[in-house]
Amino acid sequence: MKLTIREIGFLEKAIALSRKGMLSGQGGPFGCVIVRGDEIIGEGSNAVTSTNDPTAHAEVVAIRQACKTLGTYQLTGCEIYTSCEPCPMCLGAIYWARPDRVIYANTKQEAAAIEFDDDFIYKEINTPMGERKIPFIHYPHPDALKVFQDWHNWDGKKKY
């Protein structure tokens, strides 16, 4: 796919954020901008090591900022430009946010080549619970199920 000058500009902004975050010691070499129309409404660079927050990936940081800017939990009508193909966590966050599209520069294979390899997470997703590297123990509890039932029957819920 050939990008427009506008799209290339937003992608280059995400790449610049990746470099700035890396050089400042904020975190890994990843950056992201979220755009609605011609306006950047959210941006971020990886801040995992500087915030001690394993969820502070560039895309998640940018999604949080964009949603706060817009006052909504949905990014319909928005585009995400990111310096690298999103990891599984960011991919999940992107799907929950529902932007119109994602444009990225580096691939997950290129990230793996510099020791950011998410392949083991993709494999774990499809691994049966009892065989995962981190044990996941299912303990059904009637109170937990009751909360779900109450949600299902609650007229005041806000679906998302």
Res 136: pLDDT: 93
Phi/psi at 32 (5° precision): -155, 140
The pLDDT tens digits for 117-152 are 999 999 999 999 999 999 999 999 999 999 999 999
Question: What amino acid positions are annotated as catalytic residues?
Answer: 59
| pTM for the model | 0.94
Q: Which residues pair with 52 in a beta bridge?
A: none
Residue 35: beta bridge partners? 40, 79
Taking 90 as the threshold, does the pLDDT of residue 80 lie above it?
yes
H helices, E strands: number in the chain = 7, 4
Q: Determine the pLDDT at residue 160.
A: 85
pLDDT computed for residue 1 by the predictor: 83
CA distance 127 to 129: 6
Interatomic CA distance for residues 59 and 82, integer angstroms: 7
